Amino acid sequence: MKKKQLGHSGIEVPVLCLGGNVFGWTADEQRSFELLDALLESGLNFVDTADTYSHWAPGNHGGESEAIIGKWFKARGNRGKVILATKVGMAMGEGKKGLSRDYIRQAVEESLKRLQTDYIDLYQSHRDDESTPQEETLGIYAELIHEGKVRAIGASSFTAERLKSALEISRKHNLPRYEALQPEYNLYTRIGYEGAVEEVCVTHGLGVISYSSLASGFLSGKYRSAEEAASRPRAGALKRYFNERGMRILESLGKVAREVNSGSAQVALAWLMARPSITAPIASATTLEQLHKLVEATQLVLPQAAIEELNRASAETVAA
Q: Pick the closest to residue 123 from 258, 247, 9, 245 (CA basis).
A: 9
Which helix (H) or strand (E) segment is 136 a member of?
helix 134-146
Which tens digit of pLDDT belongs to each residue from 42-62? 999 999 999 999 999 999 999
Grouping H, G, I as helix, E, B as strand and the rest as coil, residue 118 is coil
Each of the 320 residues of the chain gets a pLDDT tens digit; together they read 789 999 999 999 999 999 999 999 999 999 999 999 999 999 999 999 999 999 999 999 999 999 999 999 999 999 999 999 999 999 898 889 999 999 999 999 999 999 999 999 999 999 999 999 999 999 999 999 999 999 999 999 999 999 999 999 999 999 999 999 999 999 999 999 999 999 999 999 999 999 999 999 999 988 766 666 566 666 667 888 999 999 999 999 999 999 999 999 999 999 999 999 999 999 999 999 999 999 999 999 999 999 999 999 999 764 43
In a domain? residue 12: yes
Taking the C-alpha atoms of residue 266 and residue 32, their distance in angstroms, rounded to an integer, is 21
- How many of the other CB atoms lie within 10 Å of CB of 67? 19
Grouping H, G, I as helix, E, B as strand and the rest as coil, residue 86 is strand
* pLDDT for the residue 225: 65
Taking the C-alpha atoms of residue 235 and residue 22, their distance in angstroms, rounded to an integer, is 15
CATH for 122: 3.20.20.100
Q: Which residues are registered as beta bridge partners of 208?
A: 181
Taking the C-alpha atoms of residue 127 and residue 74, their distance in angstroms, rounded to an integer, is 30
Q: Pick the closest to residue 124 from 50, 183, 184 (CA basis).
A: 50
Residues 6+ apart with CB under 8 A from 28: none
Alpha carbon distances (Å) from 277 to 15, 130, 204, 269: 12, 27, 11, 14
In a domain? residue 230: no
In a domain? residue 238: no
Phi, psi of 282 (to 5 degrees): -95, 130
In a domain? residue 307: no
In a domain? residue 315: no
**Total domains in the fold of the chain:** 1
Known catalytic residues? 53
Beta strands in the chain (DSSP E): 3-5, 12-14, 17-19, 46-48, 83-88, 120-125, 150-156, 178-182, 207-208, 282-283
Instruction: Report the first-to-last Cα separation within the chain, whole angstroms.
Output: 41
Residues 6+ apart with CB under 8 A from 74: 116
Maximum C-alpha span of the chain: 58
CB 44 within 8 A of CB 18: yes
Q: Is 317 exposed, middle or buried (0-12, 13-18, 19+ CB in 10 A)?
A: exposed
In a domain? residue 320: no
In a domain? residue 52: yes
In a domain? residue 294: yes
As a residue count, the chain comes to 320
| Boundaries of domain holding 63 | 3-224+272-300
The C-alpha angle 253, 282, 82, rounded to 5 degrees, equals 140
Indicate yes or no: pTM above 0.75: yes
